[in-house]
Chains A and B, each alone.
Chain A
Amino acid sequence: MRYIKLYFTCIKRSIITRLEYKRDTFISIFNFFVTNVASILSIWMIMESIPSLNGWTMVEMGFLYGFSMLPVALDHIFTDDLWSVAFFKVQSGEMDRMFTKPVPVLFLVIAETFQLEGLGELAVGVVMLSVCGSMLSVSWSFGAVFLLIMATLFGALMITSFKIIFAALAFKFKRSGQLLQINYNFISYTRYPLKIYPTIIRGLLTFVFPFALIISYPVEVTLFATYSPYVIAAVIVAVSCALFALSLCVWHILERKYESTGS
């Protein structure tokens, strides 16, 4: 209860910060639109020249793309400050002030930002999903909806877990932004059908950084009814929770290796 109240206080602070720089906030929202429109257009251009990609039509690709935005957006909204931990906050000693507060350091990192752009990303994702869904006349069975919701929520948890693990490495190596970036880039592979990739990438996306599990499989289940939605949902929940627990352990251990900087 206490942490929920504290979280809202911190978030309010973060939003006040954004409003201090209205122009910057406007530009970054604009930037987000340009980035997303550009990637949607690039998929569209690819599909223009080839009628289908491994049996996937343009609209199905749009459905996949739209869905892939949801867990990413959710993670983006809540945990964006992990990037700055990985890239510079540990190295510059800026974490000092978090270490002197009677609250878990990871909590303060998460509560540091509330990324408004993420809300736009979420909205675009939902719109793409419903437009492409109705064009494909997807049967919105209870199982499918349940699976997509679970995949969104726990998918975001999985993405966050990986971010926590790679950001925590900064406590040991001072900077781990590049490693985090490499890991994060794997998510964008799931915006195309899994089948177009060689086995090694597919294996990587299923077993090592299982982003396919939270994006590709739920979409395939919804569109082509390949597996039981409940089984996939259960696997997603189990794997994400396990990864989250692991990430908390890793953070907890590596946090004690923080060395600050000379002053």
Chain B
Amino acid sequence: MIQLQNLTKIFKKPIRKEGVLGMLKTLFSAKYEEIVAVDHINAEIGDGEIVGYIGSNGAGKSTTIKMMCGILTPTEGKVLVDGIEPYKARRKVASKIGVVFGQKTQLWWDIPLIESFKVLKEIYRIDDADYRERMDFLCETLGIREFLNQAVRTLSLGQRMRADLAAAWLHNPQILFLDEPTIGLDVLVKQHIREAIKTMNAKYNTTVILTTHDMQDIEDLCSRIIIIEKGGIIYDGPLADIKHRFGDLRTLTVNPQASFDADLLNTFDGKVTYERDGDGLLVKFNADEVALEHVVDYCFHTLKTSDLKVAEITVEDVVRQILEEQEAG
């Protein structure tokens, strides 16, 4: 169980001068600017949950995760992982958690993957029987056996991410932190990784905390989402609620060839909104209220669009909508 209590992180950035001399000067100067990355957040995450932790870039997601796994020390408030504060008893908590940072590999860059696993085996004191069992399971679930003997630097991004996931799972952690595990991957690999996460969560009842910008990740994996914006939690609850609140929002990008009058477009009784986007037009509506085919039909036949793109709601849309709702009421 993870508890966040009034968790706050403020980064103090010294106003710094360059070079050796500048560095010596910062030793004595007391000029700081403060950046509040995480601002008094509270939450509780139970065992075996898969929680999507989402928000726009710089909202404070990674900072929260780094406090939960003991890399950063909070400025105020605390994190409790099974009742222990990770930054105080870092080593104790470290053996219970696994971490994947999508942007940075945890593996040793220059050596064959299997050698990295051997080092991790010693670091986490995994006994031989467990190691073999876990390796077999991970090789099968993540399909890493084929490149076990390749140096990590020669792996493709998709392979490397699977390898990283295996490395984080090797010591059977109770909690797994995944910071953008699907970033930059193609659809098939994403699908593969999601399946693996589901299988492993079901088999070992591992708690998974996942940050992502991919709405599909969240829909496939998470029963619960926490949305953070500017360091504060703006939503914490089931994913179903969010979907219910916003419905099946779609955005069509069209490129009308026919001339039209912006005020006279068919709004389907006010259910469809239009926005200019350069030469094109953004058509936004809720597919639960207006049938998609009617709108598409209208775009092709009346507006004579030469092109049409359908987009589903994105994480950024959800965040924006929630913020707008909160400002309104």
- Please report A residues at the B interface, Cβ cutoff 8 Å: 2, 5-6, 9-10, 13, 16-17, 20-21, 93-94, 96-97, 99-104, 173, 175-176, 178-179, 182, 256-260, 262-263
CA distance A179 to B66 in the complex (A): 28
A102/B104 contact (C-beta < 8 A), A16-B111, A182-B20, A260-B71 known: no
Q: How far is the CB of B94 from chain A (nearest CB, A)?
A: 4
Q: Is B323 an interface residue (CB 8 A)?
A: no
Q: A100-B71, A100-B94 are contacts. A263–B101 as well, Cβ < 8 Å?
A: yes
Of B122-130, B136-144, B261-269, the one touching chain A: B122-130
Cβ–Cβ contact A178 & B23, under 8 A: yes
Residues on A with C-beta less than 8 A from B73 are 256-257
- Residues in chain B near residue A102, CB distance under 8 A: 91-92, 94-95, 123-124
In the complex formed, the residue of B with least CB distance to A9 is: B122
Known: A20-B111, A93-B104. A263 touches B71 (CB 8 A): no
Instruction: Check if B43 is an interface residue, CB within 8 A of chain A.
Output: no
- Chain A residues in 8 Å Cβ range of B26: 173
Q: Which of A9, A101, A178, A182 contacts B94 (CB 8 A)?
A: A101
Tell me, yes or no, whether B276 is within 8 Å of chain A by CB.
no
- State the 10 A-B residue pairs at the shortest beta-carbon distance, nearest first: A102-B95, A102-B94, A9-B122, A99-B71, A17-B110, A178-B20, A97-B106, A102-B91, A263-B103, A100-B99
* B119 with A13: CB separation less than 8 A: yes
List, in ascending order, chain B residues with CB within 8 A of A99's CB: 69-71, 90
Binding site for A on B (CB under 8 A): 11, 19-20, 23, 26-27, 58, 62, 66, 69-73, 87, 90-92, 94-95, 97, 99, 101-104, 106, 108, 110-112, 115-116, 118-119, 122-125, 151, 179-180
Complex CA gap A259/B38 in Å reads: 14
Contact of B111 among A9, A13, A257, A259 (CB under 8 A): A13
Closest to B97 in A: A100
Can you list 27 A-B pairs, Cβ within 8 angstroms, ordered by A?
A2-B125, A5-B122, A6-B123, A10-B122, A13-B108, A13-B111, A17-B110, A17-B111, A20-B151, A21-B110, A93-B104, A96-B66, A96-B99, A100-B69, A100-B70, A100-B99, A103-B91, A175-B23, A176-B23, A178-B23, A257-B73, A259-B11, A260-B71, A260-B72, A263-B62, A263-B102, A263-B104
- For the A-B complex with A96-B99, A100-B106 known, give 17 more contacts whose Cβ atoms are closer than 8 Å: A6-B122, A16-B111, A97-B99, A99-B70, A100-B69, A100-B71, A100-B97, A100-B99, A101-B94, A102-B123, A173-B23, A173-B26, A182-B20, A258-B71, A258-B72, A259-B11, A259-B72
